[in-house]
Structure formats: C-alpha cells, structure tokens
Amino acid sequence: MSKKRLKNGQGQDLRPGMSVTLTIFSVEKDLLIMTSNDEKLAAYNFEMHLDHYGDKTVKDFHDVYQSGDEITVTVEQVNAVVVYTSREKQKSEDSFLYLASLVGTTTLVSAKIVDQISTHGLNLDYNGISIFLPATHLEGFYKKDFPKYKGQNIEINIIKAEKKESNFRSDLAYDVVGSRKAIIEQKRIDYEKNKEQREVKLKEERKVLKKEEFASLKVGDIVSARVYKVEKGFALLYLKYGMAFLGGANYSHSKVEDLTEVLKPKDEVKAMVIEKDEDRDRVVLSVRALTKTPYQLFKEEHPIGSVIKGKITAVNEFGIVVDLGNDLTGFLHKYQVSYDPKKANLENYQKNQEVSPAIIAYEDDKNRISLSLKALESNAWDGVKVEVGSVIDAEVVDTSKRDVTVKVQGLDILIPNKEVYFDEDEPRVKTGDILKVKVLDFNKNNWVLRLSARILKAQKEFEAVREMEKQSPKVEITIGDIIDQHLLDELEASSAPKKKGKK
C-alpha cells in the first residue's frame, strides 16, 4: 500500500510522520486498535502492529497495554478506512525530549559507546539517539584505550539537545552533545576532600606492610630495590615498602671512590641482604655479594700452569710479590725463583721489574696465588744419582786458594779446602787427580751436593789407631788417641747436614 495524504470531510489533514495521541480500543498479542477522541479523526481506525512498536524486548502487547490506555504514535500510512501507525519514531522523539529536558541539569544518563570520531571524541547511542561526546569533555584513557571501552556504557551530562531538519535520516534529525566535565570535576573535588584521610590511612597501612616485609627478609635473600638517594659513600634504596642501606664498600669488589658516579636516583638495583638491624629497622644490602670476586674470575680464566705477566711490587726475605692487576697479587717464593743458585739470588730482582711466572697453586681460603719461575725451567740435575753417605770418585778440574772444583756426573761441584785438607802443609791436589769423597748432603731440586775428602782421611787415621790397639792390647790409649777420636767426632758433626730446631 502506498503512502498518501488524506483530508476528511471535516478538513483534518492526516499525513505520514504526523504524531497523534490516541486511545487504545482493543489489545491483541501483536496488534493494537486505537481511536481518536478528536471528532475530526473519529472516522478513522488506527492500527499498530508489534513489529512497528520500536521495542524488540516487547513480545506481547498485553504485557504493556490495556484497553483505555492513551498512546502517542506516528502516522505511517493512510487510506480511506485504516491508518497504520508506528511507535519507532515516537520512541526516538520521546528519548530526545527526555535528553532535552536534562540540559542544564546535573542528572546523568547512561549511553553506549559506539565509535571513535578520529581524535575529536566519541559517538554514543541512547535509545537510537546519537550523542557526540567531545574529546575535551572526557578522560584521556577512553581515547587511548578505545577498543577496551567500545560497547560499554558511560555516564554523561547532556549539555546540548536540538533538532535538525532532515528529510532523509531520522537519526540525524537531532543534535545532542554530552559531557563528562562535571563528573571529572566532582571526582577531583571528592579526591581532594578525602586526600588527607586517605594519606593517613595509607601511612598506617604502609607501616604494617613495612613491618611484615622486614620480618620476612632473611640474610642471604636477593631483593630488587630502587635508588632513592645517593651520597659519595652510601646510598639509600626503596624496597617494596621499607628502606635499605648500601655502603660504598658493598657496591663492588673494586674500590669505588664516589657512588654518585655509578648510581643515580630511580636506578633499579639487585642486591643481597647481608644484615638486618633490628633496633633501627634497617636492612643492609650488598651488590658486591652477587658478583664474583676478582680472585674467582682470575682463577676461572687462568688455570694452574698458565703463564702470566706481572710487575714486581716488593722483594723481601721470603720471596717476590707480583702485581697481577685488578687489585690482585701473586707470591713468588724464593725457592721457586730458579734451580740455579746464582739466578735464584733475590738481589737480581727489583721493584717495577716485569716478570712472567707460571701459576702453580691457588689457596681459596686466603685468596692466595702462588707463582713460580722455576716451573718454567728444566732441571740440569734431574739425571744426577748419588746417595748420602756413599763414597764416590770425583775428578779435579780446578783449584784455588779457597776451594777445589771437581766433576761429578757431568756437574762442576765446589768443595771448600777445609773439606779437602787437614792443614796448610798437606800436599795439594792437581787438575786431573781423582779424589775420593764422601756425600754429606744431596738435593737435586735445590742443586745441593756437599762432598768431603777430609772426613775420609780422618776416618782412615782413626781406624789405623784402633787396629794398633787390637794388635798391642797392653798399650794404653794415649791422650793423642783421645784427640784423634775427638777430632773425628768433630769432623762428623761439622760435615753432616745441619737440622733445624729450637735453640
């Protein structure tokens, strides 16, 4: 049926889009039959079907109307007998009129977020009425996280509601603008009003949480903290609720002269709890405790046997101190300098002299590094085989006023003259002579081989005297015999290796 415009005999003009107020004559599940109390319209029967009611939630007209109720509807189609009506446009009109009534009031209305209009604001829906909410009239998070809020309802005030002329789209026939400025301002006022009370409450809550945090912490725990204040020799840090102290000496294994050069406020720090001060409710932290010491790093990088370069910092009676860098030193004991006694003389080494020894031992409990130059040498005495107390032949290769040099298994050994002769008148040995000597001491690692020919001569004379006594038992021992025995004892004692002991 086409839309048309009619005028009855009384001259009343009915046209589509016209609003009329009617009285319900009959109610059916999906149909309302209505009449007009206006005599000019009394000749018409008005009908409205459920699908034109405009509210999809209503499934049965009996649930909302009964005979005699008044209802305002919009004319859709007109013929000579029946006028078809609708509430769809009327409901929008009712919604608009309601919104218009809120302009200038503090009444809030809830509208659905439909879309974002670029950066200008949001498009809302209220019962089919579009409402524009400017970006300057709402909180920033709605724009920033729009997808999160799309489809949700938002409360607003209505600050503008006007009709616009439109012959095509009824949803553009209204110009409605909303605002959250008053809501935001009220929130600010409420916040300021309760600020002091909240701060007191927060302070009390923080006290409780601080105590609980302090009680839960144990020495050895690893925590994250944020730098609050930094001085030259210490820093104060925020834990989750309480404060912690970090001394300059506990920041690094290397010496830090000024903490302000390595830490700044708001820096995040991971550290270990090394102390809890119960009296002051203070936690002491250490960053250094979570890092390996220079000694540990050095040991990982330089296994035993490694050859390293260093500079001598001191020479004492026990050996040589060598600087290895990173505040580390190694010790080169005097017995680890060289096999060669001449090279092993500590007087050959001075402060600041560079050396390249080998690492022979680590002592973790003392962070001590033992070094050796000797370990890098081959021992010329490794092939020498003699036994202490044995008698061997030695070829004389040189003589002097002080000693005799003999050759033993390829080595030149010095024998002091007092271990060769009894007195100045005794005939001197010559180069090429073969000398019988007794081994008094031998240590191939320290290149020690002490020999004596004199003790063999003393033993020979003493044995001759004893043999005479056996052959002539009646001969009494003379004072000369006693002197001979005493001399032999003295020779044995003076020629034997000296043993260390208490004086």
Least confident window among 33-37, 372-376, 404-408, 419-423: 419-423
Least confident window among 25-39, 311-325, 337-351: 337-351
Q: pLDDT averaged over the chain? A: 86
Residue whose tokens read 């999809």 = 56
Residue whose tokens read 């009425």 = 129
pLDDT band (50, 70, 90) for residue 166: low
pLDDT given for residue 463 in this prediction: 76
With 0-12 / 13-18 / 19 or more C-beta atoms within 10 angstroms meaning exposed / middle / buried, residue 116 is middle
171 shares its domain with 241: no
Of 162, 154, 160, nearest to 138 (Cα)?
154
pLDDT given for residue 46 in this prediction: 93
**Which residue spans within 165-242 are E strands per DSSP?**
174-179, 222-230, 234-238
- Identify the domain boundary among 324, 348, 376: 376
403 shares its domain with 485: yes
Please give the order of strands across the beta sheet that includes 448-452: 411-416, 403-408, 391-399, 434-443, 448-452
As a whole number of Å, the CA-based R_g of the chain is 57
285 shares its domain with 300: no
Residue 64 lies in a domain: yes
Mean pLDDT, residues 136-165 taken together:
89
Q: Is 205 left (phi over 0), alpha (psi -120 to 50) or beta?
A: alpha
Q: Say yes or no to pLDDT of 490 above 90.
A: no
In this predicted model, what pLDDT tens digit does every residue of 457-484 receive, in sequence order? 888 777 777 777 777 665 555 545 544 5
Mean pLDDT, residues 488-501 taken together:
53
Residue 501 lies in a domain: no
CA angle 390, 393, 395 (to 5 degrees): 145
| Enclosing domain of residue 96 | 92-189
Q: Say yes or no to pLDDT of 12 above 90.
A: no
Q: Say yes or no to pLDDT of 337 above 70.
A: yes
Q: Say yes or no to pLDDT of 287 above 80.
A: yes
Its pTM stands at: 0.45
215 shares its domain with 270: yes
Of 1, 6, 70, nearest to 35 (Cα)?
70
Residue 502 lies in a domain: no
Least confident window among 104-108, 327-331, 342-346, 448-452: 342-346
Count structural domains, the chain: 5
Report d(CA 324, CA 34) in Å as an integer: 108
In this structure, the strands spanning 358-363 and 403-408 are unpaired
pLDDT given for residue 184 in this prediction: 92
- Identify the domain boundary among 236, 261, 290: 290
271 shares its domain with 230: yes
- Where residue 97 sits, what CATH number does that domain have? 2.40.50.140
Residue whose tokens read 């009996």 = 62
- 486 or 346, greater pLDDT: 346
Please give the order of strands across the beta sheet that includes 358-363: 354-355, 310-316, 319-325, 328-333, 368-372, 358-363
Q: Say yes or no to pLDDT of 326 above 70.
A: yes
Of 239, 266, 240, 237, nearest to 251 (Cα)?
237
Residue 384 lies in a domain: no
Beta bridge partners of 27: 32
Mean pLDDT, residues 403-425 taken together:
89
Of 164, 119, 172, 168, nearest to 146 (Cα)?
119
